[in-house]
Amino acid sequence: TERKKLHTAPVRQIFRLRPFHVLVATGGGYVGYRKYEDYRLEELEKRGIEVPVKLASEWEVALYKSVPTRLLSRAWGRLNQVELPTWLRKPVYSLYIWTFGVNMKEAAVEDLHHYRNLSEFFRRKLKPQARPVCCLHSVISPSDGKILNFGQVKNCEVEQVKGVTYSLESFLGPRVNTEELRFRQASPGNSFQQQLVTKEGNELYHCVIYLAPGDYHCFHSPTDWRVSHRRHFPGSLMSVNPGVARWIKELFCHNERVVLTGDWKHGFFSLTAVGATNVGSIRIYFDQDLHTNSPSYSKGSYNDFSFISNNNKEGIPMRKGEHLGEFNLGSTIVLIFEAPKDFNFHLKAGQKIRFGEALGSL
């Protein structure tokens, strides 16, 4: 009896004092299982087999959220800043290039020894001729990536992938002050979607672009517009790959994101950069006050910043193709904008696209 007590007491103590480790291990194992499921679904889709949508339950989402992805992303961000010895740079970057299919011939500097750390390598610039900006179409792709979904916004909901939606108001947050955005006066009975449309006869459109780790990590202005407001939502940093986007409803509303809103020649225009696992930072070049992935935040909170001031009545003007910001690794960009009814997308769901190529036009 004494021996049993001697052997079992430490076990009880471990489970009593370290439940966090058990939770993380369980959550990490489940995420690994989901990654395998994502891979299996992608293989089925390649064969042309349609996969039915199966959404995660509340406990599955809670289990996924138990994994400390924010902490891991901050650790990854710090690791990216560590300067690598010159002899180690080529093997490390070559492994990344081989794993994710990076085309270094497009890089402004092809010599791998030039990049002192992973962060510099991820943020590498491209040769000017590598991404010609299309001048014939009104909206271009702001980044390299994969088209997950596009089309008209209907019933105040947006599709993140086919068959899985999220609330437009939950994603963008409450309507911004009418003094900053040129909205028409909202009627009490108007829906959130109707309040965003400024001109009679216009519709609200959306486009979702997924940036894989091997894609070009910077994003640019998709059209000529002015940015008048920034809204930052702290949140989770779950993976945003197509498999997870198909599995978790309102995934983009759970994750940290930066919403830039303003207007273009046809009315309301917004670009949202959505954070993801290992995306330790979302950077907007003209916004020095923005700090993402902080150690703590209040659930459901957000903070606003206006670019309209007494000295600057017009906000931040952006030209089509101009540098706008960057991700630390890879993530998702969501465009939601107003346009006339004859606006047409020149896209196919699932297609690969590069920065500068046409999204759509009138």
Q: State pTM to two decimals.
A: 0.81
Parent domain of 248: 139-174+192-361
Residues 185-199 pLDDT 10s: 555 557 888 889 988
Q: Is residue 30 part of a domain?
A: no
Judge if 84 and 148 occupy the same domain: no
Pairwise CA distance, residues 269 & 343, whole Å: 14
Residues 8-17 pLDDT 10s: 545 454 445 4
Q: What is the pLDDT of residue 88?
A: 92
Domain total in the chain: 2
| Residue 293 structure tokens | 């992935």
Parallel/antiparallel/unpaired status of strands 332-340 and 267-274 = antiparallel
For the annotated catalytic residues, the residue numbers are 144, 220, 331
Judge if 107 and 207 occupy the same domain: no
Judge if 107 and 226 occupy the same domain: no
SS3 state of residue 263 = strand
Pairwise CA distance, residues 355 & 222, whole Å: 9
Judge if 92 and 155 occupy the same domain: no
The predicted model gives 249-254 an average pLDDT of 86
Residues 71-81 pLDDT 10s: 887 887 788 88
Q: Is residue 52 part of a domain?
A: no
Domain boundary among 130, 151, 166: 130
SS3 state of residue 254 = helix
Q: Is residue 33 part of a domain?
A: no
Residues 40-90 pLDDT 10s: 666 666 666 655 667 888 888 888 878 888 888 788 778 888 899 999 999
Compute the residue count for the chain: 362
The predicted model gives 7-31 an average pLDDT of 50
Distance of CA 111 to the CA centre of its chain: 29
Q: Which residues of 133-142 are buried (b: 16+ CB within 10 A; e: fewer)?
A: bbeebbbbbb
The sign one gets for the Cα dihedral 176, 177, 181, 183 is: positive
Q: What is the pLDDT of residue 168?
A: 92
Strand-by-strand arrangement of the 218-220 sheet: 218-220, 323-327, 282-284
264 pLDDT tier (thresholds 50, 70, 90): very high
Judge if 112 and 158 occupy the same domain: no
| Residue 304 structure tokens | 């606003």
Other beta carbons less than 10 A from residue 117's beta carbon: 15
What secondary structure, in 3-state letters, does 12-73 show?
Answer: HHHHHHCHHHHHHHHHHHHHHHHHHHHHHHHHHHHCCCCCCCCCCCHHHHHHHHCCCHHHHH
**DSSP assignment, residue 177?**
P
